[in-house]
Amino acid sequence: LSGNGGGAVGAGPENKLTGVNRTVAAVHGTITPAYVGEVVTDIAADQNYVGTGTSANTEWAKTD
């Protein structure tokens, strides 16, 4: 009823795909995406990245 079920009751919260989920000092080589499509801001590079996978800390793509 809250809208957080991902379309199915008891499925858990939906992943955030439209805005920044985390802010970190450096993305590549330091953190692994929590889910495909996660948006993270790298404050050292002043750049946003989107997660392309969840198995390595290099699975990030720059966003425009």
> Quick check: helix, strand or coil at residue 41?
strand
54 pLDDT band, cuts 50/70/90, is very high
Question: Is 90 exceeded by the pLDDT of residue 56?
Answer: yes
Residue range 44-63: average pLDDT?
A: 93
5-44: pLDDT as tens digits: 555 555 566 677 778 989 999 998 899 999 899 999 999 9
Question: Is 80 exceeded by the pLDDT of residue 1?
Answer: no
Q: Exposure string (b/e) for 23-48, b if CB count within 10 Å is 16 or more?
A: eeeebeeebebeeeebbbbbeeeeeb
